[in-house]
Chain A
Amino acid sequence: MKKIALIGIGKMGMSHLAIANMTPDIEVVAVCDTSKVLLRFVDKNMKFKTYADYKKMIDENELDGIMVLVPNAFHYDIAKYCIKKGISLFVEKPFTLTYKDSQSLVELAKEHGVKGQVGYVNRFNPIFEKVKKLLDANIVGEVSNYINRMTGGVILKENKGWRNDYSKGGGCLFDYGPHCFDLSTYFFGTDVKVESSILKKVFSSNVDDVVYSTLTHNNKIVGINYINWSDSSVRKATNSIEIMGSKGKLTASKYEINIFLTENNSTLGFEKGWNQIYVTDESTDVAYYLRGEDFSRQLVEFSALLNGNIDESRSSFYTASITDKILEDIKALAGGLK
């Protein structure tokens, strides 16, 4: 049983706390937050020790792991401190605000033998996991190109407040972008280059609402990534991807996969023509469910990482740092808002 603590338990942090508390082979012993109201609430109603100062929490508890769930701007400093203390980490996405910072944490973690995971939850979606397995087994032959889309209805009228400010993590590129580009590197690899990018504003004045970017992977696979957080027709963030290969095409959303093949694939059990896989065909059992299997399964992976059952997370510090690099390159290449 590995002991862990959480830093930052507002909003999503509370869900993480519940999931971590129910994840096998880890035990949440303490939580840290700057909100006194929240800490008092936890004190009165839950069994976890509470701290306002994470350094004190680390000194007073023997921790095997920490989940860093604070606002993005604080990821770097806190992660750096924990790594130097030799504590393995789960950091919410994005890893840090700059590629340089992310890269330095990758190095620092290596130096200190610390294991790390970043909260790219799409990598734990049962359907996307299946897509990854199928691609690794060359289901559509050699992949040549793809279109990766992520849309949702976040900004549907004039954008005010922090979402309209890049320095506070605003803009569609930095809000939705990480999930979208991380999915691209999950499927097609982290040897990636940003070839073109356009950042377009629709309702916002200081940030982008729509992103178009072309990536190449291994100098061979070309992909359009299209992200739009001003799509009023969508109830919640929606990812979908279309992948073309030498032997057919695969399309996938969070719930289903459609595969068109030009010939039978008896090894994998697919027929020539259209094939379908639904999320209900996949194993989705989790020990505890709160907001989707994905969230439970990413914590199961963190538990496996802490318990030494795996050496590296599929959503590692390294893969997350590449996502940060992509975002940075896209913004630089776009050179402004259209």
Chain B
Amino acid sequence: MDKVIFGDNQFFGVNHMSEQTAIKQAQKFKTADDIYKTLEYVNRIGIKSFMFTTHNQLEPVLGMMKANPQFDDFKLYPCMPYAHKYAEAMVELGIFEAISKFTPGNKLVAGLKGVGSVITSNPTPMMKLLVDSEMKLLEGMNVKGIMLLNIVTDLLLGLGMHDMLLEFSKYTQKRYNVKAGFFTMNHEKLHDVLVNELGIENPIIISDINKIGFRMNPSKDNVEKTLEKKDSINIAMSILASGAIKPKDAVDYIKSIDGVHSVLFGASTFEHIKETKELLERDGYV
């Protein structure tokens, strides 16, 4: 996995600290073209991995990338499920229309898998169905991993439905031949479940890791100790804690701790993207 991975929060008006910043960013990326141009730049300067939520607005962008051979070696890490998309579709199209939208050409199988899931109360078929429908968007593209968003990872963790985490991991491997990754706001607890309880080898865990310990639950100290075990592939996000840490300090911290494999970051201007990349690459950071 690449050391530097580009994220997508800036495209959709997500900023964890400032509502104002989020609004400004949303204004900057109004069209698919705006997003595509940024990704083109990212690719051109040598950031070759993109981790993104399977957001509606990205559909046309993916199409544009597919058409451009310069993106052939660009690695994609879709993060799912983008629940909002389903909720909106259900409201606007109704349940049946929504299902057929997300399972094009596969209505019968989709219907059976979904219905079976309800009858047996087994969520696994539904999980597979959702993964397949999201992966349709990415057919023929260079997908290197499939990530589960923290709202689902952490919900399953909290409800004690740990088997589902294992099922997800097995399915991405078996059906798509790629590793699963898990976003979480509970690094220590998730690590314990994935590694010690479920026995998943070197699971990919993406979590907030930053100098001020923001959203490093249950504590910065505990997360640092978990990272040091080096039996998981750890991707740090929010290294700037939404701007609370200066880029240089943020990178110095990441370099100073043991066990961070990659950094996932987003930025909305070319200048900031380049700056952060160069800071990260200076003398390597692991």
Roughly how many angstroms separate A285 CA and B155 CA in the complex, as a whole number?
18
Selected from B13, B122, B159, B242, the residue in CB contact (under 8 A) with A17 is B159
Q: How does the 8 Å CB contact mask read for A7-38 relative to B, with 1 for contact and 0 for none? A: 00000001101110110000000000000010
**CB distance B218 to A46 under 8 Å?**
no
Q: A34-78, CB under 8 A of B: which get 1 and which 0? A: 000100110111110000000000000000000000000000000
CB distance from B121 to the nearest CB of A (A): 4
Assess the A286–B122 pair: CB atoms within 8 A. Answer: no
The closest CB in chain B to the CB of A296 belongs to B217
Interface assignment of A279: CB less than 8 Å from any CB of chain B = yes
A21 touches B17 (CB 8 A): no
A132 to chain B, nearest CB (A): 20
Q: Decide: A284 and B158 in contact? CB cutoff 8 A.
A: no
The distance in angstroms between the C-alpha atoms of A288 and B18, with both chains bound, is 23
* A37 and chain B: residue at smallest CB distance: B118
Rounded to whole Å, the gap between the CB of A149 and the closest CB of chain B is: 12
Give the shortest distance, in Å, between B278 (CB) and chain A (any CB): 24
B17 touches A285 (CB 8 A): no
Which residues of the partner chain B approach A281 to less than 8 Å between Cβ atoms? 244
Q: By DSSP majority rule, is chain B's interface helix, strand, loop, or mixed?
A: loop
B220 nearest in chain A by CB position:
A285
Asked whether A18 and B17 contact (CB < 8 A) given A285-B218, A286-B217, the answer is no
Least CB distance from B240 to A in Å reads: 10
Bound Cα distance A18, B212 (Å): 27
Interface size bucket, B side?
35 or more
Does A137 reach chain B (CB closer than 8 Å)? no
Query: Which one, A43, A47, A256, A278, contacts B121 given CB within 8 A?
Result: A43
Asked if B179 CB lies within 8 Å of chain A CBs, one says: no
B216 in contact with A40 (CB, 8 Å): no
B158 contact from A19, A40, A255, A256, Cβ within 8 A:
A19
CA distance A151 to B66 in the complex (A): 40
Determine the chain A residues whose CB is within 8 A of the CB of B220 once the complex forms.
285
Question: Which residue from chain A places its CB closest to the CB of B123 in the assembled complex?
Answer: A45
B218 touches A287 (CB 8 A): yes
A285 touching B213, Cβ below 8 Å: yes
In this assembly, does A134 line the interface, its C-beta being within 8 Å of a C-beta of chain B? no
Check A15–B123 contact: CB distance below 8 A.
Answer: no
The answer to whether A40 touches B159, judged by C-beta atoms less than 8 angstroms apart, is no
- Bound-complex Cα distance A290 to B22 (A): 21
Tell whether, in the assembled complex, residue A288 and residue B189 are in contact, meaning their CB atoms are under 8 Å apart. Answer: yes
Whether A289 contacts B19 in the complex (CB less than 8 A), given A41-B121, A280-B241, comes out as: no
The closest CB in chain B to the CB of A45 belongs to B161
Contact flags A279-319 to B (C-beta < 8 A → 1, else 0): 11100111111110000000000000000000000000000
Contact of A285 with B121 in the complex, beta carbons under 8 Å: no
Once the chains bind, are A14 and B161 in contact (CB under 8 Å)?
A: no
CB of A185 closer than 8 Å to a CB of B? no
Chain B minimum-CB-distance residue to A44: B121
B-contacting residues of A (Cβ < 8 Å)? 14-15, 17-19, 21-22, 37, 40-41, 43-47, 233, 235, 238, 253-256, 278-281, 284-291
Known contacts A17-B159, A287-B218, A289-B217; can you find 14 more A-B pairs with CB under 8 A? A14-B159, A18-B159, A44-B120, A45-B164, A235-B13, A235-B22, A255-B18, A256-B17, A278-B17, A280-B17, A280-B244, A288-B189, A289-B185, A289-B215
